[in-house]
Amino acid sequence: MLLIIRKDHRSICLYAAQQIAAEIRQKPHCVLGLATGSTPLGVYRELIRIHKKEGLDFSQVQTFNLDEYVNLPKDHNQSYYYFMKKYFFDHINIHPFSIHIPDGMAEDIETECLRYEEQILEAGGIDLQLLGIGSNGHIAFNEPFSSLGSRTRIKTLTEKTRRDNARYFASMKDVPKYAITMGVGTIMDSRKLILMATGQRKASAIKTTVEGPITARVPATIVQIHPYATILIDRVAASKLTQALKIAE
Protein backbone atom coordinates (compact mmCIF):
# COMPACT_ATOMS: atom_id res chain seq x y z
CA MET A 1 0.00 0.00 0.00
CA LEU A 2 1.39 3.37 -1.05
CA LEU A 3 0.22 6.43 0.87
CA ILE A 4 0.52 9.75 -0.93
CA ILE A 5 -0.43 13.05 0.69
CA ARG A 6 -0.88 16.14 -1.44
CA LYS A 7 -1.65 19.66 -0.32
CA ASP A 8 -5.27 19.91 -1.48
CA HIS A 9 -8.13 18.36 -3.45
CA ARG A 10 -6.95 19.74 -6.79
CA SER A 11 -3.49 18.22 -6.33
CA ILE A 12 -4.80 14.74 -5.64
CA CYS A 13 -7.21 14.94 -8.59
CA LEU A 14 -4.37 15.90 -10.93
CA TYR A 15 -2.26 13.02 -9.64
CA ALA A 16 -5.07 10.48 -10.02
CA ALA A 17 -5.87 11.70 -13.53
CA GLN A 18 -2.21 11.36 -14.51
CA GLN A 19 -2.16 7.77 -13.27
CA ILE A 20 -5.32 6.92 -15.21
CA ALA A 21 -4.01 8.62 -18.36
CA ALA A 22 -0.77 6.65 -18.06
CA GLU A 23 -2.77 3.41 -17.76
CA ILE A 24 -4.69 4.22 -20.94
CA ARG A 25 -1.55 5.15 -22.87
CA GLN A 26 0.18 1.95 -21.79
CA LYS A 27 -2.88 -0.22 -22.48
CA PRO A 28 -5.33 1.54 -24.85
CA HIS A 29 -7.95 -1.20 -24.35
CA CYS A 30 -7.74 -1.07 -20.55
CA VAL A 31 -10.72 -1.53 -18.24
CA LEU A 32 -11.35 1.25 -15.75
CA GLY A 33 -13.45 1.06 -12.61
CA LEU A 34 -15.04 4.43 -11.89
CA ALA A 35 -16.59 6.16 -8.90
CA THR A 36 -19.10 8.96 -8.46
CA GLY A 37 -19.44 11.71 -5.88
CA SER A 38 -17.74 15.04 -5.32
CA THR A 39 -14.23 13.66 -4.73
CA PRO A 40 -13.53 12.31 -8.27
CA LEU A 41 -15.11 15.25 -10.14
CA GLY A 42 -11.74 16.95 -10.46
CA VAL A 43 -10.26 13.74 -11.86
CA TYR A 44 -12.85 13.65 -14.61
CA ARG A 45 -12.34 17.34 -15.40
CA GLU A 46 -8.60 16.78 -15.80
CA LEU A 47 -9.08 13.65 -17.93
CA ILE A 48 -11.41 15.63 -20.20
CA ARG A 49 -8.74 18.33 -20.49
CA ILE A 50 -6.06 15.74 -21.34
CA HIS A 51 -8.40 14.19 -23.92
CA LYS A 52 -9.13 17.52 -25.61
CA LYS A 53 -5.71 19.15 -25.33
CA GLU A 54 -3.37 16.15 -25.48
CA GLY A 55 -5.40 13.65 -27.48
CA LEU A 56 -5.92 11.00 -24.80
CA ASP A 57 -7.91 8.33 -26.63
CA PHE A 58 -10.80 6.55 -24.90
CA SER A 59 -12.07 4.76 -28.00
CA GLN A 60 -10.91 1.32 -26.84
CA VAL A 61 -11.43 1.81 -23.10
CA GLN A 62 -14.15 -0.02 -21.18
CA THR A 63 -15.55 1.30 -17.90
CA PHE A 64 -17.45 -0.23 -14.99
CA ASN A 65 -19.03 1.94 -12.35
CA LEU A 66 -19.02 0.86 -8.74
CA ASP A 67 -22.70 1.28 -8.01
CA GLU A 68 -26.15 2.65 -8.76
CA TYR A 69 -29.22 3.46 -6.73
CA VAL A 70 -32.14 1.03 -6.93
CA ASN A 71 -35.44 2.36 -8.34
CA LEU A 72 -33.91 5.63 -9.53
CA PRO A 73 -34.43 6.11 -13.29
CA LYS A 74 -31.38 6.75 -15.47
CA ASP A 75 -32.62 10.23 -16.35
CA HIS A 76 -33.02 11.24 -12.68
CA ASN A 77 -30.49 13.97 -11.95
CA GLN A 78 -29.13 12.01 -8.97
CA SER A 79 -28.68 8.67 -10.71
CA TYR A 80 -25.09 7.69 -11.22
CA TYR A 81 -25.78 7.05 -14.90
CA TYR A 82 -26.82 10.71 -15.21
CA PHE A 83 -23.78 11.84 -13.20
CA MET A 84 -21.28 9.97 -15.33
CA LYS A 85 -22.75 11.15 -18.62
CA LYS A 86 -22.97 14.76 -17.50
CA TYR A 87 -19.53 15.05 -15.95
CA PHE A 88 -17.45 12.62 -18.01
CA PHE A 89 -18.78 10.38 -20.77
CA ASP A 90 -20.42 13.14 -22.84
CA HIS A 91 -17.03 14.89 -23.12
CA ILE A 92 -14.75 12.06 -24.29
CA ASN A 93 -14.66 9.67 -27.25
CA ILE A 94 -15.80 6.54 -25.44
CA HIS A 95 -18.26 4.22 -27.18
CA PRO A 96 -21.62 3.88 -25.41
CA PHE A 97 -21.41 0.07 -25.54
CA SER A 98 -18.13 0.25 -23.58
CA ILE A 99 -19.83 1.94 -20.62
CA HIS A 100 -21.18 -0.34 -17.89
CA ILE A 101 -23.29 0.87 -14.96
CA PRO A 102 -25.57 -1.37 -12.89
CA ASP A 103 -29.23 -1.13 -13.87
CA GLY A 104 -31.03 -0.02 -10.75
CA MET A 105 -34.37 -0.29 -12.54
CA ALA A 106 -33.92 -3.96 -13.45
CA GLU A 107 -36.95 -6.14 -12.73
CA ASP A 108 -34.74 -8.88 -11.29
CA ILE A 109 -31.96 -7.25 -9.27
CA GLU A 110 -30.26 -10.54 -8.38
CA THR A 111 -29.97 -11.46 -12.07
CA GLU A 112 -28.68 -7.97 -12.84
CA CYS A 113 -25.94 -8.37 -10.23
CA LEU A 114 -24.87 -11.72 -11.69
CA ARG A 115 -24.89 -10.18 -15.18
CA TYR A 116 -22.64 -7.35 -14.02
CA GLU A 117 -20.09 -9.75 -12.54
CA GLU A 118 -20.10 -11.72 -15.81
CA GLN A 119 -19.53 -8.55 -17.83
CA ILE A 120 -16.48 -7.69 -15.73
CA LEU A 121 -15.06 -11.18 -16.29
CA GLU A 122 -15.77 -11.03 -20.03
CA ALA A 123 -13.89 -7.73 -20.21
CA GLY A 124 -10.84 -9.39 -18.67
CA GLY A 125 -11.18 -7.82 -15.22
CA ILE A 126 -10.65 -4.27 -14.07
CA ASP A 127 -7.16 -2.87 -14.59
CA LEU A 128 -7.47 0.22 -12.42
CA GLN A 129 -10.25 0.96 -9.95
CA LEU A 130 -10.90 4.48 -8.67
CA LEU A 131 -12.43 4.58 -5.19
CA GLY A 132 -13.78 7.06 -2.71
CA ILE A 133 -14.45 6.33 0.94
CA GLY A 134 -17.43 7.05 3.15
CA SER A 135 -17.07 8.74 6.52
CA ASN A 136 -17.95 5.36 8.08
CA GLY A 137 -15.25 3.58 6.05
CA HIS A 138 -17.45 2.13 3.34
CA ILE A 139 -16.13 1.65 -0.20
CA ALA A 140 -18.65 1.71 -3.01
CA PHE A 141 -21.84 0.95 -1.04
CA ASN A 142 -20.24 -1.81 1.01
CA GLU A 143 -21.43 -0.61 4.38
CA PRO A 144 -19.80 -1.58 7.71
CA PHE A 145 -19.87 -5.35 8.34
CA SER A 146 -20.15 -6.17 4.64
CA SER A 147 -18.44 -9.42 3.75
CA LEU A 148 -14.86 -8.80 2.66
CA GLY A 149 -15.33 -11.49 0.00
CA SER A 150 -18.62 -10.13 -1.35
CA ARG A 151 -19.55 -9.78 -5.01
CA THR A 152 -21.91 -7.40 -6.81
CA ARG A 153 -25.24 -7.36 -4.97
CA ILE A 154 -28.01 -5.17 -3.56
CA LYS A 155 -27.24 -3.41 -0.28
CA THR A 156 -29.39 -1.55 2.23
CA LEU A 157 -27.86 1.87 2.86
CA THR A 158 -27.24 2.89 6.47
CA GLU A 159 -28.93 5.97 7.85
CA LYS A 160 -25.50 7.63 8.10
CA THR A 161 -24.82 7.07 4.41
CA ARG A 162 -28.28 8.30 3.50
CA ARG A 163 -27.79 11.43 5.63
CA ASP A 164 -24.40 12.04 3.99
CA ASN A 165 -26.06 11.84 0.56
CA ALA A 166 -29.19 13.79 1.51
CA ARG A 167 -27.59 17.09 0.45
CA TYR A 168 -28.01 15.98 -3.16
CA PHE A 169 -31.76 15.36 -2.82
CA ALA A 170 -34.75 17.59 -2.10
CA SER A 171 -35.34 15.89 1.25
CA MET A 172 -34.23 12.89 3.29
CA LYS A 173 -37.30 10.91 2.25
CA ASP A 174 -36.16 11.15 -1.39
CA VAL A 175 -32.81 9.48 -0.71
CA PRO A 176 -32.88 5.86 -1.95
CA LYS A 177 -32.66 3.13 0.67
CA TYR A 178 -31.03 0.53 -1.58
CA ALA A 179 -28.23 0.37 -4.13
CA ILE A 180 -26.53 -2.16 -6.38
CA THR A 181 -22.85 -2.18 -5.58
CA MET A 182 -19.71 -4.03 -6.57
CA GLY A 183 -18.69 -6.24 -3.68
CA VAL A 184 -15.50 -5.89 -1.69
CA GLY A 185 -14.17 -9.05 -3.34
CA THR A 186 -14.99 -7.67 -6.78
CA ILE A 187 -13.12 -4.46 -6.00
CA MET A 188 -10.12 -6.34 -4.64
CA ASP A 189 -9.88 -8.35 -7.87
CA SER A 190 -8.88 -5.12 -9.67
CA ARG A 191 -5.22 -5.08 -10.66
CA LYS A 192 -4.64 -1.57 -9.24
CA LEU A 193 -6.59 0.57 -6.79
CA ILE A 194 -6.55 4.32 -6.19
CA LEU A 195 -8.51 5.35 -3.10
CA MET A 196 -9.07 9.11 -2.81
CA ALA A 197 -10.17 11.15 0.20
CA THR A 198 -10.21 14.83 1.13
CA GLY A 199 -11.28 16.92 4.06
CA GLN A 200 -11.71 16.60 7.81
CA ARG A 201 -14.89 14.53 7.48
CA LYS A 202 -12.83 11.65 6.08
CA ALA A 203 -9.87 11.91 8.48
CA SER A 204 -11.10 9.30 10.99
CA ALA A 205 -11.98 6.82 8.25
CA ILE A 206 -8.56 7.30 6.66
CA LYS A 207 -6.75 6.78 9.96
CA THR A 208 -8.58 3.49 10.52
CA THR A 209 -8.17 2.40 6.89
CA VAL A 210 -4.41 3.00 6.88
CA GLU A 211 -3.38 2.27 10.46
CA GLY A 212 -6.14 0.11 11.92
CA PRO A 213 -6.69 -3.64 11.80
CA ILE A 214 -8.40 -5.19 8.79
CA THR A 215 -12.03 -5.58 9.74
CA ALA A 216 -15.44 -5.86 8.11
CA ARG A 217 -16.52 -3.10 10.47
CA VAL A 218 -14.50 -0.74 8.24
CA PRO A 219 -14.56 -2.33 4.77
CA ALA A 220 -11.95 0.06 3.36
CA THR A 221 -9.28 -1.51 5.61
CA ILE A 222 -9.11 -4.44 3.19
CA VAL A 223 -7.08 -2.31 0.76
CA GLN A 224 -4.11 -2.79 3.11
CA ILE A 225 -3.53 -6.23 1.59
CA HIS A 226 -4.00 -5.25 -2.05
CA PRO A 227 -0.64 -5.57 -3.88
CA TYR A 228 -1.06 -2.32 -5.86
CA ALA A 229 -3.19 0.04 -3.79
CA THR A 230 -2.53 3.78 -3.60
CA ILE A 231 -4.16 5.87 -0.87
CA LEU A 232 -4.28 9.41 -2.22
CA ILE A 233 -5.34 12.06 0.28
CA ASP A 234 -5.00 15.74 1.08
CA ARG A 235 -3.32 17.08 4.20
CA VAL A 236 -6.59 17.58 6.06
CA ALA A 237 -7.72 13.99 5.50
CA ALA A 238 -4.27 12.91 6.71
CA SER A 239 -4.49 14.96 9.91
CA LYS A 240 -5.23 12.02 12.26
CA LEU A 241 -2.53 9.68 10.96
CA THR A 242 0.14 8.90 13.55
CA GLN A 243 2.10 5.77 12.59
CA ALA A 244 1.98 5.62 8.80
CA LEU A 245 4.95 6.42 6.62
CA LYS A 246 3.80 9.42 4.64
CA ILE A 247 4.96 10.75 1.28
CA ALA A 248 3.92 14.39 1.38
CA GLU A 249 4.12 17.18 -1.14
DSSP letters, 127-168, are SEEEE---TTS-BTTB-TT--TT--SEEEEPPHHHHHHHGGG
pLDDT for 247:
52
pLDDT for 152:
98
2-248 belongs to which CATH class?
alpha beta
Phi, psi (degrees; rounded to nearest 5) at 177: -100, -15
pLDDT for 245:
55
Instruction: Give the residues of the chain that fall short of pLDDT 70.
Output: 244-249
Q: What is the pTM of this model?
A: 0.94
219 vs 141: CA distance, rounded Å: 10
Hey, which residues are catalytic here?
A: 67, 136, 138, 143
pLDDT for 164:
83
